[in-house]
Amino acid sequence: MVVIDRVDVLDETVARLNGWDRGFPHTKSKTSETNWSDAVDLPEPSESQRNFWEVQRLRRSVHGYQKHPIPLADAVAVCEAAHDPDAETEILLVVRDVKGVEPGLYAYDGERLGLLEAVPADSTRREEWFLQREFAAAPAVLVLVSSVAACGGSMHAYRQMMVHVGEQCQDAALAAVGVGLGGVIFAGLLMVGLLDLGIDGFQRTGVVGYAFGYPLDAQRQ
């Protein structure tokens, strides 16, 4: 008797409908071509100034940011909190206003910040990447990229990947609050922006983003 594995059938159908079985035309991510020899010198990540309970009490989404540049060590603390060497996740940082760092798109590998593309602070290209304008205006945006291909066609693995990347993003958001910043978790860069970077939605896919900076309303506290 042939036993049909409903999970496999479902996985295959979903993969076909989404084109995951074929992938997309651009399969090579530019992030694998990062020129690390030009990497930005990174300070040690800032230490949290707040304990766990303070962070939990204070955390809320922040959509408006002061026009102050954020210290690089704070941005490193946010990237480092998201970093998991055992995960497929790739960490991108869209820099608009971070002290000592040219505006642009960077990759972070746990030790280095390598420039992928210089993007002037007010370029329309930056705005095209985001669904909401406040994210383009944020001093920095973390974008977590993972792989649908690495899930091997299993929807269970896909769910686990999404949950794990979500945890990495939450860790980054809590680290930001710890160092006195605030931000908002959102859907990440639009696919049109990621395609430009060679992130095809299959081999590498943008999962989630975190826009951050000094909260605007902190000025009134």
Ligand X SMILES: Cc1cc2nc3c(=O)[nH]c(=O)nc-3n(C[C@H](O)[C@H](O)[C@H](O)COP(=O)(O)O)c2cc1C
Residues of this chain that interact with ligand X (CB under 6 A) are 60-61, 132, 184-187, 208
Nearer to ligand X by Cβ, of 27 and 56: the residue is: 56
Residue 73 CA to residue 99 CA, distance in Å, equals: 9
Minimum distance, C-beta of residue 143 to ligand X, in the bound complex (Å): 12
Q: Tokens standing for 149?
A: 């291909």
Q: Tokens standing for 221?
A: 């506290």
Tell me if 168 sits within 8 A of 82, measured CB to CB.
yes
Q: What is the Cα gyration radius of the chain?
A: 18
Nearer to ligand X by Cβ, of 34 and 146: the residue is: 146
Minimum distance, C-beta of residue 169 to ligand X, in the bound complex (Å): 7
Minimum distance, C-beta of residue 109 to ligand X, in the bound complex (Å): 24
Minimum distance, C-beta of residue 206 to ligand X, in the bound complex (Å): 12
DSSP secondary structure letter of residue 40: B
Tell me if 184 sits within 8 A of 137, measured CB to CB.
no
Minimum distance, C-beta of residue 164 to ligand X, in the bound complex (Å): 13
Order of strands across the sheet that contains 205-213: 113-118, 104-108, 90-95, 140-146, 205-213, 182-186
Coil vs helix vs strand at 61: strand
Nearer to ligand X by Cβ, of 40 and 141: the residue is: 141
